[in-house]
Amino acid sequence: MNQATTENRVTGHRTAALLDALERAWGNGEVDVLDTVLAESFVRHGRTSLQTRDELKASIIDMRRAFPDLTMTVERVIEGTDEVALYWTSNGTLTDTYLGLPATGRTYSVSGATFSRFDGDVVAEESVIYDRRGKYSSLGVPLSGANEVDVDSAAGPDAVRAMHRTMVTGVTVVATDSEGEARGLAVNAFASVSLEPPLILICVQKNSSTYSHLIASKYFGVSVLAADQMGVARVFATKQERKFDQVEWHRGELGVPLLDGATSTMEVELQDTLHASTHTIFIGRVKAVAGTNAPPLVYTGGQFFDGGQLVPAEDLTA
Ligand SMILES: Cc1cc2nc3c(=O)[nH]c(=O)nc-3n(C[C@H](O)[C@H](O)[C@H](O)COP(=O)(O)O)c2cc1C
C-alpha cells in the first residue's frame, strides 16, 4: 500500500501503525504484521460476507498471487475518536485465476473506503465498500444481476432442480480448440438470443475443465446432438481427458471442433461474457451453420429421448 502522505493528516499513533501494517501486508505480503494492529476477534464486514483476521490474511495472499502487480494507495484518512476512515484506490492485473475468474490479463482500478473501529490499540472491526461491479467489469467478467440474488431467500435447490427437470431441451456439445487440442462439454443451457444479428448464448459452470479454454477462445463450436448420439452426450458430460478421441469429429470453417452426425452445428465468435455466480453466460455471434436433418436427441427429467418419435401436439388435442 502506498500512502499519499500529502493528503493524509494522521495524528493518532494507532492510525499510523495501522497504515504501516496495511502497507506491509498489501504491498509486500507481510500479512502476519496485521496481528499487531487487528484484534484476535477482528471481523471485516464486506457487502455480503464476514471475514476473520486469518481469512483476511489468506485473501491478501491470494490476491497478491493473482494480481502480482497489486497496488493499494490510501488517498485520504479521516480520524474520529475511536474510528478511522481510509479512502483508497487499488490497481492490479489479473495474471492468475482468482475466485473462479480466469486469468484475463486485464487490469482493474477500483476506489473504495474502509471504516475501522478501534478497541484499545487494535482494530476490532471494519467495513469495506468499493465498486465491485466496476472492478469485475474492467477484469473482463462483468457481473450480471444474478450475483445480487440473496441466496437465503431464493427457492430451495431441490424445488428449483425439480422445476428444471420439467423442461425439455436438446443437448449440445460446446467445444473449442486449445493450442491444437479439441476440448468440450455437454451443454443444454443453450438459447437463441437474436436472429439479426445472429446471437446465441450458452451457460457454463466455472469449475468445468473446458471453461478456461472456452473463455480464452475467439471461436467455439456448438453441435446439436442427434437422437443416436446419446453415447456422445455421455462422453461429453464427464470430465475425462481427450474426449474427442472417442468420437468422430471434424473442424469447421473457422477451425472449431464439430461432431460428425450432429443434427446441426454452428461456429460462433465469442462476443461477450457475463459472470453469474458459479456460471458464466457466453454470448456469441453465429458465423457459420450446417445441418444433417437427423432427428435430435431430447433431454428431460434426467433422461434422453429420441426426438424422431415425437407426436405433434395437435394429434393429442384433436
Ligand atoms: C444433458 C446435460 C446437459 C448439461 N448441460 C450443461 C450446461 O448447460 N452447462 C454446464 O456447465 N454443464 C452442463 N452439463 C454438465 C457438464 O457437461 C459436465 O459437468 C461435464 O463433466 C463438464 O466437463 P468438463 O469439466 O470436462 O468441461 C450437462 C450435462 C448433461 C448430461
Per DSSP, helices labelled H in 122-256 are 132-138, 157-165, 211-215, 230-236
Q: What is the pLDDT of residues 275-292, one digit of tens each?
A: 787 788 999 999 999 999
Reply yes or no on whether the pLDDT at 149 is more than 60: no
Of ligand 1's listed atoms, the one at least distance from the Cα of 190 is: 8
More confident position, 265 or 141: 265
Q: How far is the CA of 174 from the centre of ligand 1 (A)?
A: 9
pLDDT band (50, 70, 90) for residue 148: low
CB 187 within 8 A of CB 202: yes
More confident position, 231 or 130: 231
**263 C-beta closer than 6 A to ligand 1:** no
Q: How far is the CA of 179 from the centre of ligand 1 (A)?
A: 22
Reply yes or no on whether the pLDDT at 238 is more than 90: yes
Of ligand 1's listed atoms, the one at least distance from the Cα of 205 is: 11
Greatest alpha-carbon pair distance for the chain in Å reads 85
pLDDT band (50, 70, 90) for residue 138: confident
**240 C-beta closer than 6 A to ligand 1:** no
Mean pLDDT of the chain: 89
Nearest CA residue ID for atom 15, ligand 1: 237
**249 C-beta closer than 6 A to ligand 1:** no
Q: What is the pLDDT of residues 55-108, one digit of tens each?
A: 999 999 999 999 999 999 898 898 989 999 998 889 999 999 887 777 878 888
Q: What is the pLDDT of residues 243-263, one digit of tens each?
A: 999 999 999 999 999 999 999
The pTM score is: 0.67
More confident position, 232 or 103: 232
Q: Which CATH class is domain 157-301?
A: mainly beta
More confident position, 207 or 24: 24
**201 C-beta closer than 6 A to ligand 1:** no
**205 C-beta closer than 6 A to ligand 1:** yes
Q: What is the pLDDT of residue 282?
A: 93
CB 21 within 8 A of CB 32: no
CB 102 within 8 A of CB 215: yes
In this structure, of 32-36, 136-140, 204-208, the range with the lowest mean pLDDT score is 136-140
**Domain ranges, ordered by start, for the chain:** 2-141, 157-301
Overall average pLDDT of the 136-151 stretch: 67
Beta bridge partners of 38: 123
**239 C-beta closer than 6 A to ligand 1:** yes
**165 C-beta closer than 6 A to ligand 1:** no
CB 226 within 8 A of CB 239: no
Sequence-ordered list of residues with C-beta below 8 angstroms from that of 91, at least 6 positions apart, any chain: 69, 70, 71, 107, 108, 109, 110
Q: What is the pLDDT of residue 48?
A: 67
**208 C-beta closer than 6 A to ligand 1:** yes
With the most atoms of ligand 1 within 8 angstroms of its CB, the residue from 161, 174, 181, 188 to mutate is 188
With the most atoms of ligand 1 within 8 angstroms of its CB, the residue from 172, 205, 232 to mutate is 205
**43 C-beta closer than 6 A to ligand 1:** no
3-class DSSP state of 153: helix
More confident position, 1 or 72: 72
Sign of the C-alpha dihedral, residues 154, 155, 156, 158?
negative
Overall average pLDDT of the 39-59 stretch: 90
Q: What is the pLDDT of residue 103?
A: 82
Half-sphere CA count of 163, side-chain side, radius 13 A = 6
DSSP type of residue 68: T
**188 C-beta closer than 6 A to ligand 1:** yes
Q: How far is the CA of 173 from the centre of ligand 1 (A)?
A: 9
2-141 topology per CATH: Nuclear Transport Factor 2; Chain: A, (3.10.450)
CA distance 232 to 227: 10
Overall average pLDDT of the 212-233 stretch: 94
3-class DSSP state of 124: strand
Overall average pLDDT of the 298-302 stretch: 96
Q: What is the pLDDT of residue 6?
A: 37
Burial environment of residue 144 by CB neighbours within 10 A (0 to 12, 13 to 18, 19 or more): middle
